[in-house]
Amino acid sequence: MENRGLIFIPDISGFTQFMHEIEIQHGRQIIQELLETLVNANQIGLEISEIEGDAILFFKFGEAPELETLYRQVERMFCDFHKYLIAYDNRRFCQCKSCISAINLTLKVVAHYGEFTTYQVKNFRKLIGKDIIVAHQLLKNDIDQHEYWLVTQNLLNGQSPNGFTEWMQWNPGSKTTENEQIPFQYTQIGPLKDSIPRYEPPLLEPREKVKVLSVSREFDSDIKKMFFTSGHLELRHRWQDGLKSIEELDHFLPGIGSRHLRIREDGETVMYASGFSYNPESRIVFGESDEKLTSTLYFVLEKLTDNRTRLSLEYYLKKNPLKQLAFQLFKKDKMEAEFLKSLENLEALLPQIQVPVDF
């Protein structure tokens, strides 16, 4: 074979355990977005041969890139991967095992240099060659931890992998295959997480707001079932008075920052999921604000006993004396009646709802 080039495989670690304990739809979406994050982090012109479930087979024909260049690519992919997970863990509403355990996923990267070529199957460009097999075999190794960058001697070609950072320590290793011994060097890359900036939640509520309405009702239901029923957008039109339907605009996994279109009998409004706190032993709160951040509706769930919960609908307006007065004069009575009717509808709906086992 005449073609030589780089084979570069970022592989999601923890994927097998993650898939064993997930709600499939949510897990598939999380993995899809992580793989898209890796694709978007490609900064050295790598081509994609295929996406292999939890890994991406990148390649680039030509001379082997300098190790410093490769390190910067590994750093970018690893940090962007964990930025996504940190942000998702901070903004998610869902409490299924899939969403809770996503933060435990991590990344390892195998980099190899060798001979391979391509062939076409309809619209797909596939890779073939001994070194493609070698690169995949290297993903199965005896390295204890699973946050590492592995570089084969073929790729090093006499270069020293030291010197990128003070914390990086390289270790020798080898992989025994049916035909040969493949020497490599590897380093743990988990310390890169220390360089990721602290997550800052977006401001999606009025900076200064005033509570102008609050309506409550107690329900013979546990707090998790109340949260599942009141929080899931696909159920909202079945109990919230005046609401015809909801269309999700961004993401089917609700979380802070996701948007939905609320279609009411009197018009349409784009809403943000704007706040969330979760303690099922005492209190769960989630909020929704309009797109212009002029108002926020909080759903406040309070655990009274194991099988009794209070839900309060609390409506806030951006601080503005004139608009507050106008609300009191012209809108408050109608909204209060809608809220009371909504809570009555919710009580009738609860017996029909089955909460997933892993929620």
State the DSSP code for 278.
E
Q: Are residues 190 and 215 both part of a single domain? A: no
20 and 166 fall within a common domain: yes
Rounded Cα distance between 255 and 111, Å, is 35
pTM over 0.85: yes
Choose the final residue of a domain: 145, 163, 195.
Answer: 195
Does residue 359 belong to any structural domain of this protein?
A: no
Q: Are residues 225 and 126 in the same domain?
A: no
Establish if 202 belongs to a structural domain: no
Q: Give yes or no: residues 273 and 239 share one domain.
A: yes
* CATH code, domain carrying 186: 3.30.70.1230
> What is the three-state SS of 88-99?
HHHHECCCCHHH
User: Residue 83 and residue 330: Cα distance in Å, rounded?
Assistant: 45
Q: What confidence score (pLDDT) does residue 358 get?
A: 62
Whether 185 and 227 map to the same domain: the answer is no
Confidence (pLDDT) at 25 = 79
Same domain? For 220 and 166 the reply is no
**DSSP 3-state assignment of 239?**
coil
Contact of 158 with 64, CB cutoff 8 Å: no
Claim to verify: residue 166 and residue 33 sit in the same structural domain: yes
Please indicate, yes or no, whether residues 23 and 147 belong to a single structural domain of this protein. yes
Domain-terminating residue out of 138, 164, 195: 195
Residue 38 maps to a domain: yes
pLDDT in tens, the chain (359 residues): 468 999 999 999 987 777 666 567 788 889 999 999 999 999 999 999 999 889 999 999 999 999 999 999 999 999 999 999 999 999 999 888 888 999 999 999 999 999 999 888 877 778 999 999 999 999 999 898 889 999 999 999 878 787 778 899 999 999 988 778 999 999 999 999 999 999 998 999 999 999 999 999 999 999 999 999 999 999 999 999 999 999 988 766 778 999 999 999 889 999 999 999 999 999 999 999 999 999 999 999 999 999 999 999 999 999 999 999 999 999 999 999 999 999 999 999 999 999 876 66
Tell me how many domains the chain contains: 2
Do 313 and 219 sit in the same domain of this protein?
yes
Do 228 and 180 lie in one domain? The reply is no
Supply the CATH number for residue 222's domain. Answer: 3.30.530.20
Please check whether residues 190 and 228 belong to one and the same domain.
no
Residue 98 resides in a domain: yes
Structure tokens of 139? 């993903």
Residues 6+ apart with CB under 8 A from 134: 112, 114, 152, 177, 182
Task: Please indicate, yes or no, whether residues 124 and 179 belong to a single structural domain of this protein.
Answer: yes
Domain containing 328: what range?
A: 209-352
Output the pLDDT for position 1: 45
- Contact between residue 296 and residue 272 where contact means Cβ atoms under 8 Å apart: no
Last residue of a domain, one of 166, 195, 224: 195
